[in-house]
Amino acid sequence: MISIIAAVAKNGVIGAKNDLPWYLPEDLKHFKELTTGKTVLMGRKTFESILKRLGKPLPNRKNVVVTRDRNYTLSPPPQSSPIKGEEEKGKNPLPQGERKNQKIPSPLMGEGAPTAVGAGEGVCVHHSVDEALEHHSAEEIMVAGGGEIFRQTMDKADTLYVTEVDKIVEGDVYFPTIDPKIWKEVTREPHDGFSFVTYIRNS
């Protein structure tokens, strides 16, 4: 089963300068709940932004990274940095279970997939979306971006988990159009400033 998970602004923006253009703690928690114990497929830039933010791959999930670079290796992850605006508040911007120094078991690891050097156990690297999907076809896959990865998996996904952010923001990465002829909204959970929406492919 293949699902896509994304937070999307009213104008379709999902990212700006390789970062999220908003801070929604509830959405981070929602993402964690939906992806824990599953395989999370993402592009290199998305993975490296996670390393920068968390200081490690997503815990308790198999991290599958797609890059065209066949010599791709990873240096030790940089120090995580607080989300803009949170430094002054003295808050840790990440959910409790995602904090860098928390002791969490090693991520899940599949057999046969290459592991990125320096990323830690459980990070599988593939060089195309099709290669990654074929290798992990027996697993429940959650596609986490970025824009090009979403475009390549939109026709292959069964479910979309979309956080609709009720604002227009500037950005440089956009989510593909959700065609109502192809996708049917099945649940909507409104919150202050955003909604959790689930779509399934029309039969």
- Residue 201: band (very low, low, confident or very high) from pLDDT cuts 50, 70, 90: very high
| pLDDT at residue 73, as a whole number | 77
Average the pLDDT over each of 49-63, 69-83, 104-118, 167-181 and give the range with the smallest value: 104-118
Torsions phi, psi for 147 (to 5 deg): -55, -45
Number of structural domains (the chain) is 1
Percentage of the chain beyond pLDDT 90 is 71
| pLDDT at residue 76, as a whole number | 54
Stretch 147-172: mean pLDDT, rounded? 98
Task: Report the distance separating Cα 134 and Cα 170, nearest Å.
Answer: 35
| pLDDT at residue 75, as a whole number | 57
Q: Which two tokens stand for residue 49?
A: 């932004």
Tell me, what CATH number does 65's domain have?
3.40.430.10
**Spatial strand order in the sheet of 141-143:** 123-126, 62-66, 39-43, 141-143, 2-9, 159-165, 194-201, 183-191
Mean pLDDT of the chain: 84
pLDDT tens-digit series, residues 124-144: 999 999 999 999 999 999 999
Nearest to 109 by CA among 139, 134, 131: 139
Residue matched to tokens 């911007």: 93
- Residue 122: band (very low, low, confident or very high) from pLDDT cuts 50, 70, 90: confident
pTM for this entry: 0.79
Say yes or no to pLDDT of 78 above 80.
Answer: no
Q: Which domain holds residue 65?
A: 2-201
